[in-house]
Structure 1
Amino acid sequence: TVDPQASAFHAEVAATAKRVSDHVIPKTRAYHEIWYGDARVAGSEPEEPFYGRTYMPRKFKIGFALPPSNDIDVYAQDVGYIAIGGPDGLDGFNVAIGGSMGRTDQAPGTYPRLASVIGFVPTERLLACTDAVMAVQRDYGDRKDRQHARFKYTIDDKGLNWIKAEIERRMGAPFEDARAFAFTSNGDSYGWNATPDGRHHRTVFIENGRLDLKLLDALRDIARIHRGTLRLTPNQNVIIAGVAEDDRAGIDAVLAGHGLEADRVSTLRRNAIACVAFPTCGLAMAESERYLPSLLGRVEAILARHGLSGEPITVRMSGCPNGCSRPYIAEIGLTGRAPGKYNLYLGGGFHGQRLNRMVRENIGEPVILEVLDDVLGRYAQDRLPGERFGDFTIRAGIVREVTEGRFFND
């Protein structure tokens, strides 16, 4: 959860994440400088001590996850820190490196990659670990080919063992063995949840993260009576946090008045994400946010026909192959190729722990629904007790498991 008051452990991890964020913010006021051609004519800020003059080769994302929830999709981060607790609170973090979703169609050298867990660091060594990981990418990342500049390619070019050893050398200490952990979900928790301070929080479902006039009116009415905070989630929803017991009934009434009770939303929609695509994003090749709701309605009809209406299945749609909605780890993934045309991917892990694989390329809605109808029908008939849809597609031989990102395009 993104609510640091959900537990004392959440609060401790949130404070640690804030320290890391503050630590990696560039120590510069370069925007105060004035340049004339290649000469700086005003401003005396020294060179940034860590990033230097050239900063990082590409964007570099750091995320913190608290098992059993993988709501941030920790394996999609350049560095993912997986919080490990002990008898006295936070012991430290398992470190996962090299996650990234972006790829380019017709460019087999580009691919999504899941972060690799390379060990455990105690909390007191976390800043040193962060510096070491970022310094390796700063010094060895590709600065010539933008499509090859993310940390995942540096790792696969140099080798994971080499990268790990270089991080340990710069950190001044070896990693400990990774600690045991387990993820059981990567979505949001709905309904009221109590926090140790005697307050409560509740997640409001926001389809694809789009606040239309109806939702804006609802949040306005909540803000008028709410004395806590509103928080955004990585799954495009809003958490009403820090709610006093006496205020719960009023907030429930506002949500009900606007038709925003979570039980009105299907399980499929709760586990679906879309990027903005048209008309907002200049990189979009096909619709995403504006189209996914109607497509889900047709998929819901297929699920109902096969007796799967309550089955949680992750769906992610992006309007282009860059994968901002993290489609390559969904059980059903769709990426835009042209208006009305998509690549269809199956076999991702429900907890975000496995990449999917493309099963059909450049297809329209009729073929998408035809494929899903067939596969979901087989799932309804042949699944094992408790078996997730993505796991079934691999066991049934519908798709081959992707064991490493570099094999994604095979």
Structure 2
Amino acid sequence: MTEPAKLSKVEGIKDASNFLAGPLANEMVDGNPNFGHDSEVLLKFHGTYQQDDRDERGQVSEDGKKKKAYSFMVRTRIPGGILTSDQVLEELNLCDELGNTTLRITSRQAFQLHGVLKENLKRTIQRINECQLSTLAACGDVNRNVMCCPAPYKKKIYRETQALAHEIAMHFAPRTKAYHEVWLTDSSTGDKQLVGGESESNGDGFDVEPIYGKHYMPRKFKMAIGFDFDNCVDLYANDLGLMAVTDGDKIIGYNVLVGGGMGVTPSAKKTFPAVAKRLCFAGTHNVIKIVEAVFKVQRDFGNREDRKIARLKYVVANWGIEKFKAKVEEYYGGPLPEPHPTDVHGFNDHMGWDEQGDGKWFYGLNIENGRIKDTADMQLKTAIREICTVLKPGIRLTAHQSMLFTDIEAKDKAQLEAILKKYGVKLTEEISEVRRYSMACVAWPTCGLSITESERALPGMIDQLEVELARLGLSTEKFTVRMTGCPNGCARPYNCDVGLVGRARGQYTLFVGGRLLGDRLNSLYKDYVPAEEVVSTLTPLFVYFKTDRQAGETFGDFCNRKGQADLAQWADNFAVAK
């Protein structure tokens, strides 16, 4: 007889949680600065992570005992990155009043507040909801924020994809009552038993959670919607990507891509990054039904014993795309056509000025690593606050952690630039190409998974790279540089031209050979590269690129063509000659 599967501890926590309610309400008012382990797991579904400041870890003393400096990251779910100025102003207010005075744009078009104390957590989430936003399902084993090309062009194909992103986000949002009762009810009226849903459930939970059931997903699930001519959302890095196939200003359907994902555990050889595979073609009339079929296959067959291999990419890899497609067809209830022959062939980060098509303009402002803050040299937060207050533009967040100001009258263009300049903010046109296409995760000090620095380390490396690229006459080259403080890959470092992944404190694994289009994995070039040697390790490759590139070849394509052995040999010879 086959032994029953031993589920992971997280599965047990979900099972006993009464549809994500758990002990959250009671622990909210227990006087401790942190939540217990089970609640820490459940908090993610509600859009917040319990963290501690690792710069302060071990330095906080009370009665002679060292304690962690607990605080919370609160993530707002924003389908397609579409916001109003008033919503941005409220997020800025929250970061000043209840956070650490900074606001961060994520690589999935969402906002994150950092440094929120437990005593302020409920009020923070309430205020986010009061401005018609939500944190529900921004984290956890659910469908995460649905990404979409945020460009505000007044064309049907953009309106329809952005509407689809919102529709999918709502369709796959958890239905549990626990979120409302934990965060949005007035606790001053007395204790109230959280309903969550279990008392009304038939046991499997599908009457309460019609898509998720009682146990939600085996792991997080990420979706994105983009175009073949503009893969600004990194379709191939998602569990499920919908690539709109267009004919002029008409969407004729979507190529469905499945099985992308960036997370890796280096000590576990069974883990790996993956770009998605082409599954089928979906019409505009049945795309959500097909997405739901894929979603449910992962729900039912994703690994619930080992979270390291629980993402959809492992089901696709273990089964093969044909078997996976057959199972999706079974859940869908019929055959699915082959993908359309088109594939991604363009990328637009939507930075700088562009016409919307209705007489108005939008401006893409590059925000380095997505961090909105004021410093002595640049008051970015103040500048954005003034733009939102005075001009009241629409706001769009990009998948590269930057911001679009939309619906700008032609007469107001100069005023927007003047506000930015007044506060020392560089215009996108003044930023180097290498910095413009760089991206880093938060990492140290707040992320508990980070091995080393990322957001705080990358800008200095870019400073050095700018000098070397200028010296080589390569300043105008477009290539992606992405850094993460650990192998989980939140800034998508495994499909870019240059990926830097935290390996040990102050050391990185260096990957090369991906590309801006995001449809190809890069390859390991060197391991355990000290932070101070990253640029000097890359410089010989740029020299080689300048010397031996083919016409029109990008840096990533060049490294991919040459391969690790050839690149290493050149670098060795370069060092000897030098």
With normalisation by structure 2, the TM-score equals: 0.66
Please name the residue that 1:392 is paired with. Answer: 558
Q: CA deviation at 1:370?
A: 3.0
Work out the CA distance in 2 between the residues paired with 1:264 and 1:304: 15
Work out the CA distance in 1 between the residues paired with 2:383 and 2:515: 34
Please name the residue that 1:233 is paired with. Answer: 398
**CA 1:172/1:305 → structure 2, altered by over 3 Å: closer, same or farther?**
same
Q: CA deviation at 1:277?
A: 0.7
SS of structure 2 residue aligned to 1:101: coil
Work out the CA distance in 2 between the residues paired with 1:67 and 1:236: 21
* Aligned partner of 1:52 among 213, 230, 246: 213
**1:208 paired to 2:369:** yes
**CA 1:374/1:23 → structure 2, altered by over 3 Å: closer, same or farther?**
same
Q: CA deviation at 1:9?
A: 1.3
**1:335 paired to 2:483:** no
Deviations 1:151-210 (A, max 9, x none): 001111122110111111221232223224343444512221111332211101100101
**CA 1:172/1:42 → structure 2, altered by over 3 Å: closer, same or farther?**
closer
* Aligned partner of 1:368 among 521, 534, 551: 534
SS of structure 2 residue aligned to 1:327: coil
* Aligned partner of 1:273 among 428, 434, 439: 439
Please name the residue that 1:92 is paired with. Answer: 253
Matches within 5 A, 1:57-72: 57-72=218-233
* Aligned partner of 1:9 among 137, 157, 166: 157
**CA 1:41/1:64 → structure 2, altered by over 3 Å: closer, same or farther?**
closer
**CA 1:5/1:310 → structure 2, altered by over 3 Å: closer, same or farther?**
closer
Work out the CA distance in 1 between the residues paired with 2:197 and 2:216: 22
Structure 1 contact 357–399 (Cα < 8 Å) conserved: no
* Aligned partner of 1:148 among 300, 309, 324: 309
Work out the CA distance in 2 between the residues paired with 1:381 and 1:316: 24
**What amino acid does structure 2 have at the position aligned with 1:270?**
R
**1:321 paired to 2:482:** no
Q: CA deviation at 1:4?
A: 4.2
Matches within 5 A, 1:8-407: 8-31=156-179, 32=181, 44=200, 46-86=207-247, 89-186=250-347, 188-213=349-374, 214-257=379-422, 258-398=424-564
**What amino acid does structure 2 have at the position aligned with 1:190?**
M
**What amino acid does structure 2 have at the position aligned with 1:378?**
Y
**CA 1:399/1:61 → structure 2, altered by over 3 Å: closer, same or farther?**
farther
**CA 1:212/1:247 → structure 2, altered by over 3 Å: closer, same or farther?**
same
Q: CA deviation at 1:367?
A: 3.7
Work out the CA distance in 1 between the residues paired with 2:333 and 2:382: 54
Structure 1 contact 35–41 (Cα < 8 Å) conserved: no
SS of structure 2 residue aligned to 1:321: coil
**CA 1:187/1:360 → structure 2, altered by over 3 Å: closer, same or farther?**
farther
Work out the CA distance in 2 between the residues paired with 1:70 and 1:330: 13
Q: CA deviation at 1:42?
A: 8.8
SS of structure 2 residue aligned to 1:250: helix
Q: CA deviation at 1:332?
A: 0.6
| Long gaps (5+) in structure 1 | 402-410
Work out the CA distance in 1 between the residues paired with 2:350 and 2:432: 14
Structure 2 contact 231–347 (Cα < 8 Å) conserved: yes
**What amino acid does structure 2 have at the position aligned with 1:248?**
K
Q: CA deviation at 1:267?
A: 0.4
SS of structure 2 residue aligned to 1:396: helix
Work out the CA distance in 1 between the residues paired with 2:249 and 2:367: 36
Deviations 1:195-249 (A, max 9, x none): 1332211101100101121100110121122132122111010100111222222
SS of structure 2 residue aligned to 1:308: coil
Structure 1 contact 192–202 (Cα < 8 Å) conserved: yes
Deviations 1:29-48 (A, max 9, x none): 24449779xx9899647431
CA RMSD of aligned residues (A): 2.2
**CA 1:42/1:333 → structure 2, altered by over 3 Å: closer, same or farther?**
closer
Q: CA deviation at 1:87?
A: 5.2
Q: CA deviation at 1:136?
A: 0.4
Work out the CA distance in 2 between the residues paired with 1:24 and 1:41: 17
With normalisation by structure 1, the TM-score equals: 0.92
Work out the CA distance in 1 between the residues paired with 2:355 and 2:322: 43
Work out the CA distance in 2 between the residues paired with 1:174 and 1:348: 34
Please name the residue that 2:136 is paired with. Answer: none
| Long gaps (5+) in structure 2 | 1-148, 183-191, 202-206, 568-578
SS of structure 2 residue aligned to 1:395: helix
**What amino acid does structure 2 have at the position aligned with 1:26?**
P
Please name the residue that 2:141 is paired with. Answer: none
Structure 1 contact 35–42 (Cα < 8 Å) conserved: no
Aligned residues: 399
**What amino acid does structure 1 have at the position aligned with 2:329?**
E
Higher-Rg member (1/2): 2
Please name the residue that 1:404 is paired with. Answer: none
Q: CA deviation at 1:365?
A: 3.1
